[in-house]
Structure 1
């Protein structure tokens, strides 16, 4: 199966970072996500309950990042991947997590991970 559900540019304001000042302010994080999902069933039924609910996925990712307050982007990315696999049954995903504006000469810094099997 090569079907996917995409979420691109999900913006979340959360506390993240290792420096003291970073633990006191929210910073913008950007999430890009590709998730393997068999889209044939929702396509045939035209019923949202058969689809991967990207609004619910987006809300859950946002809530996780706000609550977890990780120090590292790597920790945040692994946490998101685990919750998507555990709570939504996503078998495979590719996740990019960016922190814009941290390095003055770069648009963003970030990590990209891929978990599971297609």
Structure 2
């Protein structure tokens, strides 16, 4: 199956980072998600109950990272991927998690992971 659901540019305000000052402020993370999902059923039925609800997924990703307050982007990405697979039945996910402004000479830095079988 080559179908997927995309969420791009999801902005999350949370505590993130390893330095003491980073643990005292919120910073913005940006998430891009691609999740394997068979879109034939909702495509035929036009019923949201048959679709992967990207609003619910977005809310869960934001809530997860706000609660987790990860030190490392790698840890945040792993936890989010696991949540998506366990709670939403997503068999495969590609997740980019970026931290804009973390390196002054770069627009953003981040990680990209893929988990599961497509």
Sort the TM-score into its range (normalised by shorter chain): over 0.9
1:40 equivalent to 2:37? Answer: no
Quote how far apart the aligned CAs of 1:56 are: 0.2
CA-CA distance at 1:98 after TM superposition: 0.1
Alignment of 1:1-118 (within 5 A): 1-118=1-118
CA distance in 1, matches of 2:34, 2:99: 18
- RMSD in angstroms over aligned alpha carbons? 0.4
Question: Post-superposition shift, 1:30?
Answer: 0.2
CA distance in 1, matches of 2:76, 2:113: 11
Partners of 1:110 and 1:102 in 2: how far apart? 9
- Alignment TM-score, normalising by the size of structure 2: 0.99
Provide structure 1 residue ranges, at least 5 long, that are not aligned to the other structure.
none
**How far off its partner does 1:89 sit?**
0.2
Q: What number of residue pairs does the alignment pair up? A: 118
